């Protein structure tokens, strides 16, 4: 058996590595369809970007972020209680300062006790009204905003270069692992070829 056969594992390893490297590159390249020898080549992500955007838009709007969830959050009494101190501060400032500037005559007859009573009355009314207002706001938002279409438009317009950069930042180790696996499998296949050839020639 020629010693050139010993190069088979190395050649096979290189073929395995280059094949997987090309496969990874073809996820993103070519950006636009290229016709070579009658065969059209187009990167998987650029080719399927619109379809991916549509699927992602539907998934986000139905599973990840629904207007029902938004409505439940913004109208939840426990969440609204967190902003009541801010509203109370503004009402207190209005009754003590802004009312004096806007209606000085009326403010002359309003003391601390009256301000306290007015503030309590306003706060009770706001506490009752605010959940209703927020629910109505969420309903209007649902009508005015097409969340699914927003996601589709954004993802479809996303730069292929930027997408490749982001995915490589996240999955660079995984891509490298795939390349190495290709080389290892190629080396093993080449080694098996050498072994089979050796025993066939020996027999």
The count of domains in the chain is 1
Residue positions counted in the chain? 203
Whether the link from the prior residue into 170 is cis, omega within 30° of 0, is no
pLDDT in tens, 7-42: 888 999 999 999 999 999 988 888 888 888 888 888
Distance CA 44, CA 25 (A): 10
Cβ–Cβ < 8 Å for 53, 160: no
Distance CA 125, CA 97 (A): 21
pLDDT in tens, 77-131: 777 788 888 988 988 888 888 877 777 777 676 778 888 888 889 988 888 888 8
What pLDDT is recorded for position 3?
A: 64
Domain of 172, in residue numbers: 3-202
Largest distance between two CA atoms of the chain: 118
pLDDT in tens, 118-144: 888 998 888 888 888 888 887 777 777
Distance CA 73, CA 138 (A): 10
**pTM confidence score:** 0.56
């Amino acid at each position: 058996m020629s010693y050139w056969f010993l190069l088979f594992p190395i050649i096979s390893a290189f073929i395995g590595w280059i094949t997987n490297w090309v496969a990874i590159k073809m996820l993103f390249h070519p950006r636009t369809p290229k016709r070579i020898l009658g065969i059209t080549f187009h990167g998987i992500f650029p080719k399927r970007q619109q379809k991916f955007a549509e699927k992602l838009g539907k998934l986000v709007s139905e599973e990840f972020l629904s207007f029902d969830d938004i409505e439940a959050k913004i109208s939840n009494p426990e969440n609204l209680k967190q902003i009541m101190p801010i509203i109370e501060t503004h009402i207190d400032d209005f009754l003590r300062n802004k009312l004096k500037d806007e209606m000085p005559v009326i403010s002359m007859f309003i003391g601390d006790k009256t301000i306290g009573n007015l503030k309590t009355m306003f706060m009770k009314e706001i506490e009752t009204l605010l959940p209703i207002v927020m629910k109505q706001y969420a309903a209007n938002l649902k009508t005015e905003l097409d969340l699914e279409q927003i996601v589709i438009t954004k993802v479809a317009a996303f730069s292929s270069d930027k997408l490749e950069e982001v995915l490589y930042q996240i999955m660079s180790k995984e891509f490298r692992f795939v390349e190495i696996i290709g080389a290892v499998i190629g080396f093993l296949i080449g080694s098996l070829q050498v072994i089979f050839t050796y025993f066939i020639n020996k027999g």
